[in-house]
């Protein structure tokens, strides 16, 4: 396969960054991802969502192993256009996970504050002495719900 980086333009009509070939195992597409742009975590997260329809083989490539090569092979026979579109979708998934990481970094303080607030209120109730219940109005013996000692059955706001 000829190596084409995602950042390179195609002069011969091929999709830049995606190389498709037909070998003894069938159709395969290859994408070379620069790890200075996308983290290994982002690549694996994107790859995971394609494992139901494709076999994915990931390997380090390039000088200093700066790139991750993703080879995509369909589990069932597909048209060349479908394989190429899967590669395009994979590239979009990489962007999606990159943006998610950026948003997480930008909003982590807000998320942490909300979680502290939500779970911090429950911290005050960990003392068993504060968890006592009021047993004074529990029905006794022959009492039933029909007696409605708390007047729950009376609608509020109407009179």
* CATH at 39: 3.30.70.60
Q: Is the pLDDT of residue 141 over 80?
A: no
User: Has residue 8 been placed in a domain?
Assistant: no
Mean pLDDT to the nearest integer, 42-51: 95
pLDDT tens digit sequence for 109-135: 998 888 888 777 666 666 666 666 666
In a domain, 36, yes or no: yes
**Residue 144 located in a structural domain:** no
CA 108 to chain centroid, in Å, comes to 16
Domain count, the chain: 1
- Whether 73 is in a domain gets the answer yes
Spatial distance between the Cα atoms of 133 and 152, rounded to a whole number of angstroms: 18
Q: Quick check: 96 and 46 in contact, CB under 8 A?
A: yes
The Cα–Cα gap between 16 and 23 comes to 21
> Is position 25 within any domain?
yes
Least confident of 7-11, 43-47, 136-140, 141-145: 7-11
132 in a domain, yes or no? no
Q: Which domain holds residue 110?
A: 18-120
Measured distance CA(114)–CA(117) in Å, rounded: 5
Rounded-to-integer distance, Cα 18 and Cα 10, Å: 10
Q: Which of 139, 138, 121 is nearest to 130 (CA)?
A: 121
């Amino acid at each position: 396969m000829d190596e084409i980086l995602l950042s390179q333009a195609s002069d011969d009509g091929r999709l830049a960054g995606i190389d498709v070939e037909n070998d003894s195992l069938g159709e395969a597409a290859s994408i070379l991802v620069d790890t200075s742009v996308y983290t290994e975590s982002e690549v694996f997260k994107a790859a995971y969502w394609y494992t139901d329809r494709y076999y994915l083989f990931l390997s380090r490539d390039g000088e200093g192993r700066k790139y991750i090569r993703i080879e995509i092979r369909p589990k069932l026979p597909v048209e060349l256009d479908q394989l190429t579109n899967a590669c395009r979708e994979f590239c979009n998934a990489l962007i999606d996970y990159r943006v998610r990481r950026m948003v997480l970094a930008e909003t982590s303080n807000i998320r942490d504050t909300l979680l502290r607030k939500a779970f911090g209120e429950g911290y005050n109730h960990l003392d068993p002495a504060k968890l006592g219940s009021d047993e004074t109005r529990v029905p006794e013996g022959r009492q039933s719900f029909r007696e409605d000692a708390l007047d729950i059955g009376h609608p509020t706001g109407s009179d």
